[in-house]
Structure 1
Amino acid sequence: MSPVNLRDFMEELVRFTLESYIDETLEIDLGLSKAFCSNLLKDDPSDPYLATSADSFQGVPPYPLYKGLASSLLESIDSKAFCRSHCNLTLIPEGSSFKQKENEWQKLIMDKGSKIVNIMETSVHELHVQEPFFSQLKDGQKTIEGRCAVGDYNRIGSGSLILFNRCVVLEVQDVRRYASFSDMLGAETLANVLPGVETIEEGVQIYRKFYTEEKERSNGVLAIFVSKVDLQPYICLATLLSVVTLTHGARALAKHANRSSSKYWGTLEGSDSDKNKLAMDVVSHLIARCDWLNVHVVPPHGVVFEIRVADGYGARWSKDGSKFIGFLEPYMKDGHSKGWSH
């Protein structure tokens, strides 16, 4: 599969995994809020027609945001290492628990990432199925896929792996040929081919949207028996996402949590989801109550945008606001040498 197709495959896989989690049809708990996942899937609220590239990580992130996530994951899988270029971990001190977690992520990326690529490369055929039939295939309710016997469909045989909608892999158990869709539906039953459809006539009309009667008569049709395999690309991806869930804000907050004797930053504990929520709450609190804003030069970041509240606590972003840099302690004498503890 070409690099372009690989990127498209990963984008579709990320989208499907996030949507399945939101719909509560995903077998794995990602540890993310549904609102967060929904925001990743949203188009640009300000300009839905803005042409952007998911491969660009400069300036304002392109919408929908999940495409940037897919590109970053793909880079990590391709390099067989946790992607640092889009997740600035240089602020995390060596020897911290985060370094150990990064090593765990890298092992997971090499394991699950290679499995995702291997599944994609070994899937000889790629088919698209509309809803509700795709979900029925995924859930095992629909066990037979009907197609007109044309082109590459004639190459499908027992043991072949089919990638449906770039998300779900099914293995072919058998292929049977019929003269018409009506004959196929009568022999294999509607419940196996088109669950929910009540009559053969109604089923034939569904296929008529894709194939003319002349094409059906001249080529015949195939009943492709399929079953779900254990190793699924979306499950591998979900495993990755469920582990790599600590946001940059939560990692930055970990540096500050114990510096303030007044516990201004709160208590960083619980699951990654709890820590991520605390970091987001802190940022929201700072933005809502800031009474000082400034753009100035701070080595080594260059030009930055800062906000502070009356007590001196604050946060810092890149000049255009697209990259969160970290939290800020109140100004104090010899703060750097004291580790900003106060």
Structure 2
Amino acid sequence: MASSPPPPSPGTSPVKLSDCIEDLLKFTLSTYAPPASQLSLSRDYCSRLLQHDQALPDAPAGPGAGGVPAYPLYKHLARALDRSINSRTYSKAPEYESVSDASFPADGSLGEEEREKEWQRAIAEKGSILLDTLGSVEFELHVQEPYLTQLASGRKSVEGRCAAGAYNLFGPGSVLLFNKCLLMEVRDVRKYPSFSEMLRAEGLSSVLPGVESVEEGVQIYRRFYTEEKELSNGVLGISVSKPDRQPHACLADVLSGLGCEGVGGLVGMVHTAGTVADALPPPRSSLVASCMNPLRPDVKGCFLTDAARALDKHVNRSSEGWWGRLCGSASVKNSRALEVVNRLLNQCCWMNAHMLQPNEGVFEIRVREGYGARWSLDGSKFIGFLEPYTEDGYSRRWHN
């Protein structure tokens, strides 16, 4: 059986938030959710941030990637947190900044300024603690599961490595960051001629919990180190303990200070009167699929989709011709409607989830010109396209 590549020599300080925020956020949302911690976000909310879109490949959350964010959303949140914490300012991405324009529904929510002050404090104060915590790191290491979980729980208290490279710089008090999310402090470092002697001296339960024999433990290390390297360099038994201050706990404090509305703002959601505080953008695949549902599946010869029928209502409402033309066969109209939907999904700069009536919530998006579309909150039902918002829009039948 081919051996795994040996663990690289440990990374050294300084640790940049941008290099670890994605892994750190994933770890925090995955293992630091209620009821196990003080994180104020619900387990369901954390799960939705981590959710993958099964119908679409994960898309990178690169700079300037506007529109409805692709799943998983935590990657977009990580980029926004990195930008905000490093600047010490609650900062939405420029493509999602609030647009002061009559084409958008006004923000009628109360206390928005006070909430943003709270979010600013969470970023500035709690974020600074996170940066200081990462600043204390001297070396970075990586371990596979289940060893990361065992280190975090305290079951594993000794890490074994070949005595090569920067590992020889480890000493009592050295601060280690495992897998970009777990902080450990070195208590002692002891050198041995081989892994078998290290395992016997330190104890299997401390080094490799769950492994039943020294021979089995040696085979685990053999996946990473050849016998020649082991014998020529020797082996270190690195005794570690977990300090109280942890980067994932610091990040949990930041997220708790932001709450659902603050977190939602960082992934592009806006807040108006009636906003659903814990709503998040639905998966893109759901939004597209619901638009392409057949308008009348039980009517023979009716091939139009819901989006094509909705577009037919709007093409003549824009004096600027924003919706374009709609003509030809049902197939051509359906394709044209899909183009419009994708244009809105890719270019929107305004996203909101709000209640139209007590029992009817909608997910709404708009592009900078004010045109948009609505779906049900979960994206499973397409409701229709939207004209730019105006106070007298209804009386003018939304012509502009």
TM-score bracket, normalised by the shorter chain, equals 0.7 to 0.9
**Residues 250 and 275, structure 1, Cα contact 8 Å, conserved in 2:** no
What letter corresponds to residue 179 of structure 1 in structure 2? Answer: P
Taking structure 1 as reference, are residues 39 and 297 closer, same or farther at Cα in structure 2, changes over 3 Å only? Answer: farther
Structure 1 residues without counterparts, runs of 5 or longer: 258-273, 334-342
Using a 3 Å threshold, how does the CA distance of structure 1 residues 3 and 99 change in structure 2: closer, same or farther?
A: farther
Uncovered stretches (5+) of structure 2, i.e. residues with no partner:
1-11, 101-105, 292-305, 320-346, 378-385, 396-400
Compute the displacement of 1:65 (Å). Answer: 1.9
Partner of residue 366, structure 2 = 318
- Give the direction of change, closer, same or farther, for the CA distance of 1:38–1:44 in structure 2 (3 Å limit): same
Residues 30 and 217 (structure 1 numbering): CA distance in 2 closer, same or farther, change over 3 Å? same
Aligned to 1:97: 111
Q: Max radius of gyration: which structure? A: 2
- 2:142 aligned with 1:128: yes
**1:231-250 pair list within 5 angstroms:** 231-244=245-258, 245-246=260-261, 247=264
Q: In the aligned structure 2, how far is the partner of 1:227 from the partner of 1:158? A: 11
Paired amino acid for 1:38: S
Compare relative contact order (CA 8 Å, sep 6+) and give the higher one, 1 or 2: 2
Fraction of identical pairs, as percent = 41
1:79 correspondence with 2:87: yes
**In 1: Cα distance, 2:76 partner to 2:157 partner:** 35
22, 28, 37: which is aligned to 2:46? 37
What is the alpha-carbon distance in structure 2 between the residues aligned to residue 297 and residue 241 of structure 1?
Answer: 42
Deviations 1:181-201 (A, max 9, x none): 111111111111111111111
The answer for the alignment partner of 2:271 in structure 1 is 252
- Partners of 1:210 and 1:28 lie apart in 2 by 38
Q: Are positions 1:28 and 2:28 aligned together?
A: no
Is contact 2:13-2:138 (8 Å) kept?
no
**Matched residues, number:** 303
Q: Distance in 2 between matches of 1:250 and 1:61?
A: 10
Q: Deviations over 1:17-41 (max 9, x none)?
A: 122146x68523342342x433433
Equivalent residue number for residue 110 of structure 1: 124
Query: Normalising by structure 2, what TM-score?
Result: 0.63
Tell me: CA distance 1:9–1:250, structure 2 relative to 1, closer, same or farther (3 Å). Answer: closer
CA RMSD of aligned residues (A): 4.5
Contact preservation (8 Å) 1:174, 1:224: yes
Range that drifts further, 156-165 or 99-108? 99-108
Q: 2:243 aligns with which of 223, 229, 232?
A: 229
* CA distance in structure 2 between the partners assigned to 1:194 and 1:305 by the alignment: 48
Cα distance change, pair 45–328 in 1 and its aligned pair in 2 (3 A):
farther
Q: Provide the TM-score with structure 1 as the length reference.
A: 0.72
What is the identity, as a one-letter code, of the residue corresponding to 2:89? A
Q: For 1:182 and 1:25, how far apart are their aligned partners in 2?
A: 40
In the other structure, the counterpart of 2:28 is 17
Amino acid at match of 1:123: V
2:206 alignment counterpart: 192
| 2:75 matched residue in structure 1 | 67
Q: For residue 278 of structure 2, what is the aligned residue in structure 1?
A: 276
CA distance in 1, matches of 2:222, 2:281: 54
Structure 1 residues 50-59 or 186-195, which shifts more? 50-59
